[in-house]
Amino acid sequence: MVSDLGGDIDATGPDPVGLFAIDTRFLSRWILTINGERLTALSTDDLRYFETRFFLVPGTGTVYVDAKLSVIRQRAVSNGFREKLMIFNHGGDPLDLNIRVEAGADFADSFEVKDRLPKKGSHYRRVEEGRLVVGYQREAFRRETAISASMPAQLDENGLTFTVRLDARQDWSAELRVEPFVTLPEGKVSLAALPKLYGGGNGPEAYESLDIWFRQAPQVRCEYEPLSTTYRRSLIDLAALRFPSAALEGGSLPAAGLPWYMAVFGRDSIFTSLQALPFVPQLAASTLHELGLRQGTRIDDFRDEDPGRIIHELRLGEMAAFEERPQSPYYGAADATPLFVVLLDEYERWSGDAQLVRDLEFEARAALAWIDDYADLMGLGYIAYQRRNEDTGLENQCWKDSWDSISCRDGRLPGFPRATCELQGYAYDAKMRGARLARHFWNDSLYADLLERQAAELKERFNRDFWIDSEGYYALALDAEGAQVDALASNMGHLLWSGIVDDSKADAVIGHLMSPQLHSGWGVRTLSQRDQRYNPIGYHVGTVWPFDNSIIAWGMRRYGYPQEAAILAQGMFEAASFFGGRLPEAFGGYDRNLTKFPVEYPTACNPQAWSSGAPLLLMRTMLGLEPANGHLIVDPYLPNTIGQIELLNIPGRWGHIDAFGRGHHQLQCVPDNAPLSEQLSSAFQTEPDAVTDTPNPRQA
């Protein structure tokens, strides 16, 4: 539920406000007035993520008038929401109050709100015994919202009114109830009772309480304030983003983001689960179950479905139901399928949950088979993508899924199919990890040998076909003709994580990732400054993404570059401190020397799962945590600005274990934080070495 700072909802404005559930907006208007006046918020309390308290006074003028009336709205999201309205008369005279709540619902589908599309069904309103019902109907699709109050109120089609005479120093309260309903053939069903098939499931208050969630997660002790604050914020946000799993009773997987992406997303759920493995591994288990359950079984061009393919997105609202959008579910991601196998293996390494590996053997094999049987669109032995749904399918099926994210250095957009580089890394990793699973759990060493052979061959041809020898980095992609798409982009960092990079090439790759063209001072940009389509506030063509940086840091540690990984970690925690500990989806790729703070990219998603997971993964990389032979290896490399980290009660196959690291390391690449005026004046000096520059970390 999203409202303005005073607790009101008015969806006619530009902000995505409302009460959302199952991809539908069940309330789009909720405005409180007292004697015809709107109120002003004094402060807002986020009690827990599903409860909020608003403190208000009547009047909206900029000049403060001594108020005798104060109002508290206490709201809890619970199968819709309950709002306790409390009004206090602090004055010496009784007051006649006309308390009005305007209520309405447009039942907008999440796609409609983003794209501003008109509705095809019809709305209705009626006053029933003790409640106002607003509804929407289109053929057999019917949704309703029921609004009622605990105190007698006058109900009309546009809201409720209380007429109250409030004596001096008295208070008055009423509880309002807003409850969504889905009309099924057998009758009206509330959200709480809705079967999982329709997207129902328990709301946040029914999950293990927030206290248990915190108690089960590792505790952090760190004197570096941004890290402790960010860690706590991440845990809260990941709790808020839990989405009920149809596959696992009581299980929940991470939805991609609030409020638009409270849905099952393959890629986001997998990456978030990977980031959170050492902290809240239950997310990974639910994710694996759910994605296995939804795996593709047929060829369907409208949904870009193939047998064995892991879903991209599942939606339950009107547009998906009437097939105006393909998300029922949609399979147009080329990375989720190999990543599914990667998550299954990594999860077992941490948890020792061999049973799940055996339970999902069929799904994992089908995912591995997809790589060879359906993904090799160009016949070159690479995963490539091209949408078959040309109306509403996704053009780019990698994580950078905006239309212009894959370009050449000169700005040209390659044709389709496209084989982006990180997909090949994921394929390599999936085959290597799949081999381990086959050998140790599926009793199939022949299959293991085959996978390892395939992986070795893939690594060899990848390093030959994607490497741009003249420049010393990997091409972003191969185009439809198999030619290199030569933009310099962050995707190479994922290659490091996967292990597909030849050891001899790692140094050059990392040098590019840390160079001023890609590294902004805060983190690695999605696209380098020298590429034609670079734009510091272009969604995938110049911004800095925390999730991207967390995977890149993981890759740097894999290849033995802990200092660079620590620089990325430090940059992210410093950036987080500007956002109250909640890293945004992305922030601007402006050079850090230019502004003193990271510039937030405007987006409707807040929080976002893999941004909340990024600090967790960065803590893992700084501590060098790696499960091996049933134990947890701790190999810390911390910058001295962070000091020391104690991570207590890390869950895993070992039970619970503590890890400790001390920050000895003075990072050699510390971004220049000198004020702009200093930098400008030094640029006018005649000595050539006075020009400031971000030093190359590898010079030492």
Partner 1 sequence: MTDPSREFFDEINRLGHDRLLEKAAGTLRIDLTEGSVIENWFILVDKGNISATKEGMPSADAVLRADRATFEQIARGQMNATAAIARGQISARGDSRLLIQFLRLFPARPGTPGRRLVATGGRRQR
Chain positions contacting partner 1, by CB under 8 A:
138-142, 183-186, 195-198, 246-247, 293-294, 296-300, 303, 307-308, 316, 318, 320-323, 328-329, 359, 361-362, 365-366, 369, 444, 447
Other beta carbons within 10 Å of 6: 19
Other beta carbons within 10 Å of 320: 22
Q: What is d(CA 73, CA 52) in angstroms, rounded to the nearest whole number?
A: 8
Other beta carbons within 10 Å of 130: 11
CB 64, CB 52: distance < 8 Å = no
- Least distance from C-beta 460 to partner 1, angstroms? 25
Of 316, 305, 234, 313, the closest CA to residue 272 belongs to 234
CB 136, CB 108: distance < 8 Å = no
In the bound state with partner 1, the residue whose beta carbon lies nearer, of 49 and 141, is 141
- Least distance from C-beta 210 to partner 1, angstroms? 26
CB 562, CB 624: distance < 8 Å = yes
Per the listing, tokens 């991601």 go with 333
Write the DSSP string, 122-179: EEEEEEETTEEEEEEEETTEEEEEEEEESS--EEETTEEEEEEEE-TT-EEEEEEEEE
- Least distance from C-beta 356 to partner 1, angstroms? 11
- Least distance from C-beta 81 to partner 1, angstroms? 24
Of 31, 188, 18, 35, the closest CA to residue 106 belongs to 18
- Least distance from C-beta 198 to partner 1, angstroms? 7
In the bound state with partner 1, the residue whose beta carbon lies nearer, of 182 and 553, is 182
3-state secondary structure of 330: strand
> For the chain, percent helix, then strand, then coil, each to nearest 5?
30, 25, 45
3-state secondary structure of 209: coil
| DSSP 8-state symbol, 412 | P
In the bound state with partner 1, the residue whose beta carbon lies nearer, of 443 and 696, is 443
Per the listing, tokens 């982006």 go with 420
In the bound state with partner 1, the residue whose beta carbon lies nearer, of 125 and 388, is 388
C-alpha radius of gyration, the chain, whole number = 27
CB 234, CB 612: distance < 8 Å = yes
In the bound state with partner 1, the residue whose beta carbon lies nearer, of 327 and 550, is 327
**Which one-letter amino acid corresponds to residue 140?**
A
In the bound state with partner 1, the residue whose beta carbon lies nearer, of 325 and 409, is 325
In the bound state with partner 1, the residue whose beta carbon lies nearer, of 65 and 197, is 197
Q: How far is CA 388 from the centre of its chain?
A: 26
- Least distance from C-beta 419 to partner 1, angstroms? 23
Bond into 607 cis (ω within 30):
yes
- Least distance from C-beta 433 to partner 1, angstroms? 18
- Least distance from C-beta 26 to partner 1, angstroms? 16
In the bound state with partner 1, the residue whose beta carbon lies nearer, of 337 and 498, is 337
In the bound state with partner 1, the residue whose beta carbon lies nearer, of 317 and 639, is 317
- Least distance from C-beta 415 to partner 1, angstroms? 25
- Least distance from C-beta 581 to partner 1, angstroms? 36
In the bound state with partner 1, the residue whose beta carbon lies nearer, of 245 and 528, is 245
